[in-house]
A and B are shown apart, each in its own frame.
Chain A
């Protein structure tokens, strides 16, 4: 049980930590020297790739060790159509009941399927109990959820986030967006290490 819990913590990028924000989209120590905000879109194939390949190791090496505080932000791209925003809203609603990581993982894992069929709710519901499903459905209709997604989008545009996935690094009040992932994040890790020196 303990081993599977640890494995889950390594595999899933955005653990539902009921931290200061209580949004279930944060992970790590808020007092960490680095704040890293990930702007992603559930329909974006590069985000899925980052989620599956880079993030587990990154969380193990930087978040679990107290070097970085990790926050997931929604950035549904208009180019993917309305399904991205709907998925973001479901994930945000699930975060309110501490189920963000499960929903985010399900959405990325089944990305090709729901992006084609539009069965977003079915994908989300698959990782929730009936009681949780009812809560998430109710929250999904709450205008505050849509407003929260829009807040993330607005914050991203202001930085500016130009594409997904973008990890925005804040260190000593300096905010730097990073969107280069062609090298599987090697340069990014080097950048973080240099900041931490």
Chain B
């Protein structure tokens, strides 16, 4: 009964054509944004991004350096997977997780009054209401796409 209810509730989410198109557009747009974010970081020496991470004052320097070297490649992988539509549950979940962490750190920095780089798309972009609104919107879109990925999968695996 409970499973039935769930399926009925989410039916329009995954079966309606306009909704499917909207999900596709959001997913590809977010994927493209991730690829662009990765490109802006990989186009610069990693030290610049490491300084940006360290300025959040959350991680020790060794961790900031390790993250600066690896995160852009991870963003690139997620972005490509989102665009091509492979491993959607994993890629959307990873995207939502990342965006949740990014957004949380940005909100924390903003509340603390830290005038630091967002670090989202290369250097020179200070955390502000504008960046919070943008990343918050991305997070909202990401969560919707993630839920859609899981719902459509569970629908496909439901017995007739």
Contact = CB atoms under 8 A, between A and B. Distances in A.
B123 interface: yes
B126 A176 contact: no
B55 A162 contact: no
Given A163-B115, A195-B45, A187 B126 contact: no
A182 B59 CA distance: 13
Interface centre among A176, A179, A182, A187 (most CB of B within 10 A): A187
Contacts of A183: 54, 61
A162 B124 CA distance: 10
A80 interface: no
Given A162-B115, A182-B54, A177 B124 contact: yes
B47 A176 contact: no
Nearest to A181: B51
Nearest to B48: A191
Nearest to A175: B124
Contacts of B126: 160, 162
Interface string B39-56: 000001111101110110
Interface string A168-197: 000000001111101100011011001100
A163 B114 CA distance: 11
A180 B51 contact: yes
Given A182-B54, A187-B51, A191-B51, A177 B123 contact: yes
A178 B51 contact: yes
Interface residues of A, number: 17
Contacts of A194: 45-47
A176 B124 CA distance: 7
Nearest to B125: A160
Nearest to B45: A194
Interface string B122-154: 011010000000000000000000000000000
A112 interface: no
Nearest to B116: A162
Interface string A60-94: 00000000000000000000000000000000000
A106 B136 CA distance: 48
B58 to A, nearest CB: 13
Given A162-B115, A178-B48, A194-B45, 11 more contacts: A160-B124, A177-B124, A178-B51, A180-B55, A183-B54, A183-B61, A187-B51, A187-B54, A188-B47, A190-B47, A191-B51
14 contacts: A159-B124, A162-B115, A162-B116, A176-B44, A178-B51, A180-B55, A187-B47, A187-B50, A188-B51, A191-B45, A191-B47, A191-B48, A194-B47, A195-B45
